[in-house]
Amino acid sequence: MDAVFYPVALNAIPMKKKQKPAKKSRPAIKPTAQNERLKGWNEIASFLGQPVAVAHRWARSGMPVTREGRFMCASREELSGYLGREAGLDVPVHIATENMDLSADLKLALAHARAGKHNKNKKAKR
């Protein structure tokens, strides 16, 4: 049997490539403002503005989280109080989000800082 030669090179024929289906990834979990409880490490970490690994580490060091079934849950108020205690403050920390007015919080923080500054000056004068 003789070999058959084709005049067209094999790489000149365009081959259709199969399109891979788009990867289905989970949407980023964004807790709603009305929801008081944070459910799951992703929501807790996004509330704190930290990666999930940091939320795990803080939970091991005393951050108030509870297990409810297979999920870890936390209260926004408890987390704010915890962050305030860890920062050495006697008031809860207010965690800012993108669409909130921060002017009232700024005024409160400035008043708190000024009150602390005046107390230090009075102690130094004695």
Rounded to whole angstroms, the Cα distance separating 67 from 39 reads 9
CATH number of residue 77's parent domain: 1.10.10
Could you read off the pLDDT of 21-47 as tens digits, one per residue? 666 666 555 545 446 899 999 999 998
In a domain, 3, yes or no: no
In a domain, 58, yes or no: yes
In a domain, 48, yes or no: yes
In a domain, 77, yes or no: yes
Q: What residues make up the domain containing 53?
A: 34-88
Structural domain tally of the chain? 1
Give 44: exposed, middle or buried? Use CB within 10 Å, 0-12, 13-18, 19+.
Answer: buried
The pLDDT score that the predictor gives to residue 52 is 95
pTM above 0.85, yes or no: no
- Higher-pLDDT residue of 111, 9: 111
In a domain, 75, yes or no: yes
Could you read off the pLDDT of 89-111 as tens digits, one per residue? 777 777 777 777 778 778 877 88
In a domain, 96, yes or no: no
In a domain, 10, yes or no: no
In a domain, 82, yes or no: yes
Question: Percent of the chain at pLDDT above 90?
Answer: 31
